[in-house]
Structure 1
Amino acid sequence: MEIQAALILFGIFAVLVTFGVPISFAIGLATTACVTFLMSFDQAIFVVAQRMATGLDSFTLLAIPFFILAGNIMNRGGIARRLIEMAKVIGGQLPGALAHCNVLANMLFGAISGSAVASAAAVGGIMSPLQKKEGYDPAYSAAVNAASCPTGLLIPPSSTLIVYSLISGGTSVATLFVAGYLPGILMGLGVMIVAGIIAARRGYPVIPLPGVKEIIKKTADAFLPLMLIVIIMGGIIGGIFTATEASAVAVVYCLIVACVIYREVKFSELPSIILEAAITSSIVLLLIGCSVGMSWAMAFSDIPYVISEALNNVSENPLIIMLVINLALLVIGTFMDMTPALLIFTPIFLPVATELGMDPVHFGIMMTYNLCIGIITPPVGSALFISCSVGKVAIQDIIKPMLPFYAAVISILMLVTFIPEISLFLPRVILGYGG
């Protein structure tokens, strides 16, 4: 029964996705077919709809549309340009200075906007012409931009970690946010090391050290955007507000900075910004609702148990099992976008990981990091395609320059997987987490 249900669920889902059906509808239809097999069509319609509604009835999920709106406001508010100028001050003296600036700006802007694609477009759009002017290989520049833009999905505030919190059964958002810092920073440093080695071999120039006045000015210009992270994380860690309330605070702060202080977003533009955020939010929330229904169908038919048994039959060694899970997620990430992959496969792999003694926070960071790699790999790597587009590079020309960056980020993934303290050290020290 379990195997038949799994074949129906994943088989129909795969067929629908192959024929171009939107992934939310593919998940919903496959779930309905699976539940119909287990019950009846009338019951399936009622149960799936009920589970979708119940899954979306969550206070935590309110943070997603607010953070999306805050990110959209910041994207229009000249934030990327200011962060790039600050990044030049920090990384300008390293070999391949502009490449390091690209990485640092992606880490900062990605954390503020919460979107790897937005970061790749905003930062890459500014950095690519500058690097080309200095004699950088366009394929190298696009590869640096692509490899570093996912760091903001780990460095909080991160909507992806909010989604994991919901689907994992209520793992603390604050703990996940704090746990994402070190892995996200390590990912950025890994990209910088590879970029620096290549830049040194090719003799790419450094940026002359600016004067003290210019350093102060550039730092002051980036102060207000960076304060958003301080306010959000400080408020969450200090217990002043929850992650959901922090998202509303972020919107108010972004409005003040972008519309009143910088004046780069006009009040007349707000309706279109809000509409864009509403459309994006509706897509994400529909996906979450359908995925919650699929998660229930899998649990009801004992599919996670069957997969757990299959993994245990592969090996009794926990290290081997974690390697298999990572390999599976890497393959999945190349064909499926990050959010649906997180929603579908967390209920499958999390029970296996916890049975092996892995902390849910550690597993969430590992899984998020793993799927970050998927958005910079073909054939569905949205951030990779955006980086190629803004860098004016053909997709076939960027694959070879990406290989050393893939090696770096996957090596750090292994460290994150097998050294739990990389994810859990800060939560233990800052929050007193005892997981």
Structure 2
Amino acid sequence: MDMLVLLGSFVVLMLIGFPVAYALGLAALVGAWWIELPLDAVMIQIANGVNKFSLLAIPCFVLAGAIMAEGGMARRLVAFASVLVGFVRGGLSLVNILASTFFGAISGSSVADTASIGSVLIPEMEKKGYPRAFATAVTCSGSVQAILIPPSHNAVIYSMAAGGSVSVAALFMAGVLPGLLLGLTLSAYCLYAARKNNFPKGRAIPLREALKICGEALWGLMTMVIILGGILSGVFTATESASIAVIWAFFVTMFVYRDYKWRDLPKLMHRTVKTVCIVMILIGFAASFGYIMTLMQIPLKITTAFTTLSDSPVVILLLINVLLLALGTLMDMAPLILILTPILLPVVKALGIDPVHFGMIMMVNLGIGLITPPVGAVLFVGSAVAGLKIETVVKAMVPFFVLLFTVLMLITYVPAISLWLPRAMGI
């Protein structure tokens, strides 16, 4: 009955139109009232939920990503990717994916990736003879890399939702190989599609021009080197790296590239603060919701239910994947990480599955949800940038969904893809 009251009130509030964050907070209050817990305890948990040093990484990474997305860095990364792979048949589709790899390793945001890379490459691909729907599908699918490749602020949220028991640095390193695997898989399909549909070849960029492009892009790529190099060398923590990323992004944008106007900075800061406020409210209310779930022993009951169904990790992981894929199409990524991690982590731990590995499984599942209707934020952004109906884009994305599901199965059932790098580095 406890579970029905808490989860039922949350679902009802969602159905009548409450935002996810407020639905979580109000459901927590209903749950506290049901079990006769003083409401002061809920308020304390909301405050404790956002009173964590590691959460400082989120506003900093969001700000750094916003500065890079609007400051000309995306355009230079696209040009750099063109130097590397733009000359082959179907090269612009490869440029799109590679640029998403680079930009994802800097911004950590799929939405920013799609908006920035898409605004540059979707019109360019169409001009060169690619179907606009195909160009949009490539852009949206490639942006899922940003969730996996460090620095991913969703990894920070997962670490916090896991009670701080999972290292952010380990999650960052665990996302490298899955992200590259996804990029290589999408690239292989794009090469196949280019041959099948006779997509055009790009031009080989002359050496002098290529050197100039590489020099300009190097400033942006250094962001990735500074963040990962600093973490791995122990110079600063994963949280501190976010602050360094902001400083570097600001320096490069305003003093090196100088494409961004100083008068536009207040508007950028306002958008960033607005986004961060929404995320922090969500985290605080999710903390109180998780606290009530723990008091009601809901995670323990769900763990028992799963292990009753089967004691095979293969079967349980398949069921969890189905659950995550279904929910990922209905809700945004951050709320699902905050809600589901305290519920599902005990289940996978009972089966001997590494929490870092499970974090990657969750990221890929929910990343697919970002490009799947009816509530796919990245899908909406890609469609808006391309000026296409969502149905048109979804139809073009069918083969990409197959590829993403294949990568998901590999990451789920081959733990070494996620765990080899962090273990090799002793994280």
> CA offsets per residue over residues 387-433 of structure 1, 9 Å max, x none?
11111221111222211111111111111111111011111112x14
What displacement does 1:195 show? Answer: 2.1
**1:159 aligned partner:** 153
Q: Tell whether 2:351 aligns with 1:356.
A: yes
Aligned mate of 2:3, from 3, 6, 13: 6
**1:309 aligned partner:** 304
Aligned mate of 1:30, from 2, 21, 27: 27
- Equivalent positions of 1:284-303 (< 5 A) are 284-303=279-298
**2:215 aligned partner:** 220
**1:81 aligned partner:** 75
**1:68 aligned partner:** 62
> Which sits farther off after the overlay, 103-112 or 147-156?
103-112
Equivalent residue letter for 2:113: S
What displacement does 1:32 show? Answer: 1.0
What displacement does 1:23 show? Answer: 0.8
What displacement does 1:260 show? Answer: 0.9
- Equivalent positions of 1:13-24 (< 5 A) are 13-24=10-21
- Equivalent positions of 1:78-227 (< 5 A) are 78-170=72-164, 171-227=166-222
Cα separation, 1, equivalents of 2:52 and 2:279: 14
What displacement does 1:306 show? Answer: 1.1
What displacement does 1:94 show? Answer: 3.4
**2:374 aligned partner:** 379
Cα separation, 2, equivalents of 1:182 and 1:93: 26
What displacement does 1:205 show? Answer: 0.9
Equivalent residue letter for 2:7: F
Cα separation, 2, equivalents of 1:182 and 1:289: 32
> Which sits farther off after the overlay, 304-313 or 352-361?
304-313
Q: Which runs of 4+ in 1 moved over 3 A?
A: none
Cα separation, 2, equivalents of 1:93 and 1:78: 23
Cα separation, 1, equivalents of 2:242 and 2:393: 36
SS at match of 2:299: helix
Q: Give me the CA root mean square deviation.
A: 1.1
Cα separation, 1, equivalents of 2:93 and 2:17: 37
What is the TM-score of this pair, normalised by structure 1? 0.96
**1:240 aligned partner:** 235
**2:333 aligned partner:** 338
Q: Tell whether 2:273 aligns with 1:278.
A: yes
Equivalent residue letter for 1:226: L
**2:314 aligned partner:** 319
- Alignment: residue pair count: 426
Cα separation, 2, equivalents of 1:297 and 1:188: 40
**1:425 aligned partner:** 420
Cα separation, 2, equivalents of 1:17 and 1:94: 48
Aligned mate of 2:247, from 245, 249, 252: 252
Equivalent residue letter for 1:61: L
> CA offsets per residue over residues 308-355 of structure 1, 9 Å max, x none?
111112222110001000110000100010000000000111111111
Task: State whether residues 111 and 153 of structure 1, in contact with CA within 8 Å, keep that contact through their aligned partners in structure 2.
Answer: no
What displacement does 1:19 show? Answer: 2.0
Cα separation, 2, equivalents of 1:346 and 1:66: 23
SS at match of 1:21: coil
> CA offsets per residue over residues 166-215 of structure 1, 9 Å max, x none?
11121111111111100111111222222222221100011122122222
Cα separation, 2, equivalents of 1:269 and 1:244: 27
**2:398 aligned partner:** 403
Cα separation, 2, equivalents of 1:267 and 1:169: 40
> CA offsets per residue over residues 32-56 of structure 1, 9 Å max, x none?
111211115xx1x211111011111
Task: State whether residues 89 and 202 of structure 2, in contact with CA within 8 Å, keep that contact through their aligned partners in structure 1.
Answer: no
What displacement does 1:110 show? Answer: 2.1
Cα separation, 1, equivalents of 2:308 and 2:10: 26
Aligned mate of 1:266, from 261, 273, 279: 261
> CA offsets per residue over residues 108-133 of structure 1, 9 Å max, x none?
11221221111111111111111111
> Which sits farther off after the overlay, 82-91 or 327-336?
82-91
Task: State whether residues 25 and 286 of structure 2, in contact with CA within 8 Å, keep that contact through their aligned partners in structure 1.
Answer: yes
Cα separation, 2, equivalents of 1:288 and 1:85: 38
Aligned mate of 2:36, from 39, 46, 57: 39
SS at match of 1:335: coil
Aligned mate of 1:370, from 365, 368, 373: 365
SS at match of 1:39: coil
> CA offsets per residue over residues 237-290 of structure 1, 9 Å max, x none?
111011121111111111110111111223332222222111111110110111
Cα separation, 2, equivalents of 1:135 and 1:195: 14
Cα separation, 2, equivalents of 1:316 and 1:243: 36
Identity %: 42
Aligned mate of 2:51, from 57, 64, 68: 57
Equivalent residue letter for 1:386: V
Equivalent residue letter for 1:34: G
What is the TM-score of this pair, normalised by structure 2? 0.98
